[in-house]
Amino acid sequence: MAKASKKTSTTQAQTSPSGLPINIGISDKDRAAVATELAHTLADSYTLYLMTHNFHWNVTGPMFSTLHQLFMTQYTEAWQALDAIAERIRALGHYAPGTYAEYARLSSIAEPTSVPNAQDMIQMLVSGNEAVAKTARKAFKIADAVNDQPTADLLTQRLDVHEKNAWMLRSLLA
């Protein structure tokens, strides 16, 4: 079997399928900067998605039903968002990261090494949602600075979701 070639960058620039350059009013350099930050947002979002789904499967205790349902609501919403983030990276002319190795390298969220208790799950998800919000906010600043309204809009929506998720989860710990 032939080994797949290793790319040096997950956000390598491309031309369109027709071979034409991408000319959307954002320079190649600026599109690369936005795509790089979106790659980090995608990695954090995927890591949080996987953690939330894991906790949905493995939560136990007196809050089982409430948490099981809440986690399902959150991971289902997150799954839909992953595609939007990856497709925005592609629209900017770059490849979206799509392997566990890339996500591990790009994510700021540490994965659990065991199955935590319900309270710890909630705290880890609060921290995870806050981490995604911080990463998205950093990406937003770059998108806004280069006049990339579609990316800024996408990131504003993600900020709203993750800040609300963190608040709802934090309320369970009060």
Q: Rounded to whole angstroms, how far apart are CA atoms 18 and 163?
A: 40
Model pTM score: 0.88
Q: How far apart are the first and last CA of the chain?
A: 55
The type of residue at 164 is K
Which tokens in the block code for residue 159?
């900020």
Q: Rounded to whole angstroms, how far apart are CA atoms 70 and 174?
A: 17
User: How many CB atoms are closer than 10 A to CB 16?
Assistant: 10
Q: What angle do CA 86, 156, 84 make, to 5 degrees?
A: 20
pLDDT in tens, 24-68: 999 999 999 999 999 999 999 999 999 999 999 999 999 999 999
pLDDT in tens, 115-147: 999 999 999 999 999 999 999 999 999 999 999
The upper half-sphere exposure of residue 69, i.e. CA atoms within 13 Å in the direction of its Cβ, equals 3
119 and 56 in contact (C-beta within 8 Å)? no
Q: Rounded to whole angstroms, how far apart are CA atoms 125 and 120?
A: 8
Q: Rounded to whole angstroms, how far apart are CA atoms 45 and 42?
A: 5
